[in-house]
Amino acid sequence: MAVHKIKKAMHYLNQRLSQLEQPATIPFDKFLEVLAAKPHTVVRNVFQVFHDMIKTYVGEGVDEYPDDPESIHYVHYDCSRLFVQGSDHPFFADRLFANRLISLIEALKRGAQQNKIYIFEGPPGCGKSTFLNNLLKKFEEYANTENGLRFETVWRFDRKILASFPEHGDIPLLEKLSQLVNNVPQDASQFDKVENNLHSADYMEVPYSTGDYFEVPCPSHDNPLLMIPKPHRRMFF
């Protein structure tokens, strides 16, 4: 009885998730139209998105002593929307921490990422995990808004062309794609018939299928602009 209820609950959850509004894939020319209308949103990289998220929640700082020649310009930043509001475990950032955080994201915006690992060091119980958890939560919320929108490349494969390769045992990518082709339902209505396979890994990463074609998101989440060869990008724009 308990197993039946669990399967029923999982099936209901699967149906509800499948009904969520998913942005449809668009051809490259439509993507360029969006680029022309919203260049800042489309062109920015993930570091610039992170910067925009921080500035959205924190805003501009307030300098209480703008005319003080001895000011070190450690202004006041209100981080309550970023670390406190809507959080089960609020993190209260002091002025020193807030200014260093803003300086870091300003550097990220300018493209000074390089190959760095940032370490937040402190004694147990000082809030390191709380800070990071709250930050990631807000980043996820922002990424699901219109302002946090980003585009990524989606590969569309023709089943017939993919099946024409005689052997692909030596090419891991083709082998994986072949497995996806064999496991993807041909008809979208067949997704409702998988209650006995809810725990199957094949259905956890199933791509979008449209009969003769199926789509797989780029593993590197590349921006579609990267499909334009680098030597030709400036002239193209």
**Least confident span in 65-74, 103-112, 142-151, 175-184:** 175-184
Q: Which positions ≥6 away from 92 have C-beta within 8 Å?
A: 83, 84, 127
Q: Which positions ≥6 away from 11 have C-beta within 8 Å?
A: 195, 198
The pair of structure tokens assigned to 45 is 């990289």
Is the model more confident about 81 or about 211?
Answer: 81
Is the model more confident about 91 or about 168?
Answer: 91
Residue 53 near residue 142, CB atoms below 8 Å: yes
DSSP for 132-197, written as a single string: HHHHHHHHHHHHTSSTT-----EEEEEHHHHHT-S--TT-HHHHHHHHHHHHS-SSGGGGGG-GGG
Is the model more confident about 90 or about 66?
Answer: 90
Residue 88 near residue 63, CB atoms below 8 Å: no
Q: What is the pLDDT of residues 3-43, one digit of tens each?
A: 778 888 888 877 776 655 667 788 999 999 999 999 988 98
Measured CA to CA, the distance from residue 108 to residue 114 in angstroms comes to: 9
Q: What is the mean pLDDT of the chain?
A: 79
If one counts every other C-beta atom within 10 angstroms of the C-beta of residue 87, the result is: 15
Is the model more confident about 213 or about 51?
Answer: 51
Q: What is the pLDDT of residues 170-227, one digit of tens each?
A: 556 666 666 655 555 444 444 444 444 434 444 334 455 556 777 788 888 889 999 8
pLDDT attached to residue 201: 44
The pair of structure tokens assigned to 183 is 């496991």
